[in-house]
């Protein structure tokens, strides 16, 4: 499955589910996502092309069970796509300013839809294909990891989770994605998966990223999730576990 969102239908008559979509095709790079587990919590990922040279992607973890937060997920996706396109489509757009404004819009929408405080850690990134640059914010989400030729960089939190304070925002930062580099982003459920009271942890995600080899984005996602399931020793994984990867071609 390459970037395919799969949603199980709910019986709640007023619930509006996020729109399923395929991830865009990139020039000299790949982006994909995959999930496993019960799909009962609030993991949500999406990616769209917002301009001829910019791809927007994100992973959101809305607190609560899935049947209770469908409205929040749907509203967040609508803002993610519409505001993201409006802010990042112009060629002259300042990506750091645009991502900061997108963060504010998402935060406001989550709080308005939830009717108050509703913790929603989020990571969003804008990848510029022409420059090989990633502009991102991390609102209290699990750190993303970027594998370079000489090691792994951790993209930690740049602000508080969305949905907590009405004027809260996260700083947008830039990182270069050199040819052959790979970004891996996982949901909290990956890190907190336990076996005999030991968590999988971010360190094992880093090891999986290092050992995933030269394959594409889908292969990186599957390698990480397979590692989690091996760690759990075939026990049922009750929480959502999601992985998203962006891989730049060595030949780019």
214 SS3 class: coil
pLDDT of 200 reads: 95
pTM for the model: 0.88
Tell me which residue of 225, 218, 161 sits closest to 4, measured CA to CA: 218
User: In 10 A of CB 58, how many CB atoms?
Assistant: 25
Instruction: Give per-residue pLDDT as tens, 153-212.
Output: 999 999 999 999 988 889 999 999 999 999 999 999 999 998 888 999 999 999 999 998
Averaged pLDDT for residues 97-119: 96
Instruction: Give per-residue pLDDT as tens, 114-153.
Output: 999 999 999 999 999 999 999 999 999 999 999 999 999 9
Averaged pLDDT for residues 56-66: 89
DSSP state of 3: S
* Nearest-10 Cα torsion for 213, 217, 218, 222: 50
Q: Return the CATH number of the domain spanning residue range 29-248.
A: 3.60.40.10
């Amino acid at each position: 499955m390459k970037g395919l969102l799969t949603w199980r239908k709910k019986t709640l008559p007023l619930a509006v589910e996020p729109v399923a979509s395929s991830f865009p095709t990139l020039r000299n790079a790949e982006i994909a996502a995959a999930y496993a587990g019960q799909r009962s919590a609030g993991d949500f990922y999406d990616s769209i092309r917002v301009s001829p040279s910019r791809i927007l992607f994100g992973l959101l973890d809305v607190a609560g069970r899935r049947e209770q937060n469908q409205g929040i997920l749907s509203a967040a996706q609508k803002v993610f796509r519409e505001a993201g396109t409006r802010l990042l489509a112009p060629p002259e757009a300042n990506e750091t300013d645009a991502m900061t404004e997108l963060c504010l819009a998402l935060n406001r929408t989550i709080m308005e839809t939830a009717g108050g405080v509703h913790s929603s850690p989020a990571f969003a990134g804008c990848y510029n294909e022409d420059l090989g640059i990633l502009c991102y914010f991390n609102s209290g989400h699990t750190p993303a990891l970027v594998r370079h030729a000489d090691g792994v960089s951790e993209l930690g939190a740049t602000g508080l989770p969305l949905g907590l304070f009405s004027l809260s925002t996260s700083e947008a930062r830039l990182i270069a994605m050199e040819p052959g580099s790979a970004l891996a982003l996982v949901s909290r459920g990956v890190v907190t998966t336990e076996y005999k009271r030991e968590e999988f942890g971010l360190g094992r995600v880093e090891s999986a990223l290092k050992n995933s080899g030269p394959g594409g984005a889908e292969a990186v996602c599957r390698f990480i999730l397979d590692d989690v399931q091996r760690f759990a020793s075939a026990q049922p994984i009750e929480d959502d576990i999601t992985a998203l990867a962006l891989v730049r071609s060595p030949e780019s």
